[in-house]
Amino acid sequence: MIPKKFVFLVDMHVPFNIYLDPVYEFIQDFKPDITILGGDIGEFGPVNHWLADQSKYLDTGIIIEHYAQLKLDVFNPIKKATPKSEKIFLEGNHENWIHLATAQDPNLRGYIELAKNIPSEYKIIPLNRPYRMNENLAVIHGAYTGMYHARQTVEAYMTSILYGHNHTFQTFTKVSPIDNERFYTAMSIGSLCELNPGFMKNRPNAWINGLAYGYLGERNTFSVVSVVIVRNRFHAEGRYYK
């Protein structure tokens, strides 16, 4: 069996994303069979859940313009880099703001939903629903925050799982007490957004930039490589991207 290759990208927060050309260049070289966008790909500020008065910001035109920027900065480059890969889009909490907006204002329905505005080749996975890569590995946007989010994640889902949401690197492994060959590892990877965007107002954080890629082998085996990106530069598969 030839292993399937995958790439996992999360937390771009367009338009607050980092310079992404090195990421797309790596994808073109790596030629993944599966490309996963792990949620919070757009910032979706016009329907920001934290705004006190959303009625001032529910402007469909602005949201449509935001989708146009996603097409230009994310969907088109990925299609060019990996035209034949299976494509998965996990909803993040920012994409979920769209559901909240349409629930608050039914007049927006049919206009601003993800399914209406992202390429049809992407399979959309609802917020908090894991997508199984195989029987032993899943991906999710991320359900927990705090100091020990990797441990919370692995104990909640009881499978090996990749996720984002926290913009940090953290991993935790749980091994079965009766079968030491059975283990579960949760791994959060870095974000692809700026480390100090304007909305953070210079507050300290533990964010890093990064991505993950890996292989799915026979008998539900897998391997994962977590890549840390520093100043838009990183090493992967023996090459330096910048």
**32, 5 Cβ separation under 8 angstroms:** yes
Residue 64 has what pLDDT?
87
Residue 54 has what pLDDT?
52
Taking CA atoms, 6 is separated from 10, 160, 196, 217, in Å, by 13, 15, 29, 11
Query: By C-alpha distance, which of 20, 35, 10, 216 is closest to 123?
Result: 35
Show me where the domains of the chain are located.
Answer: 4-241
Residue 53 has what pLDDT?
53
Residue 46 has what pLDDT?
82
d(CA 179, CA 93) in angstroms, rounded, equals 36
pLDDT in tens, 156-167: 999 999 999 999
- Res. 200 pLDDT band, cuts 50 70 90: confident
pLDDT in tens, 9-32: 999 999 999 999 999 999 999 999
pLDDT in tens, 87-145: 999 999 999 999 988 888 888 889 999 999 999 999 999 999 999 999 999 999 999 99
Read off the pLDDT of each residue in 198-226 and give the average, rounded to a whole number.
92
Please report which helix (H) or strand (E) contains residue 173, including its range: strand 170-175
The topology (CATH level 3) of 4-241 is Purple Acid Phosphatase; chain A, domain 2 (3.60.21)
Q: Which comes out higher in pLDDT, residue 161 or 180?
A: 161
DSSP readout, 190-236? Answer: -BSB-SS-GGGTT------EEEEEEEE-GGG-EEEEEEEEBTTBEEE
pLDDT in tens, 31-79: 999 999 999 999 988 887 665 455 544 444 588 889 999 999 999 999 9
Q: Which comes out higher in pLDDT, residue 233 or 1?
A: 233
Q: Which comes out higher in pLDDT, residue 26 or 178?
A: 26
Residue 52 has what pLDDT?
46
Residue 47 has what pLDDT?
82
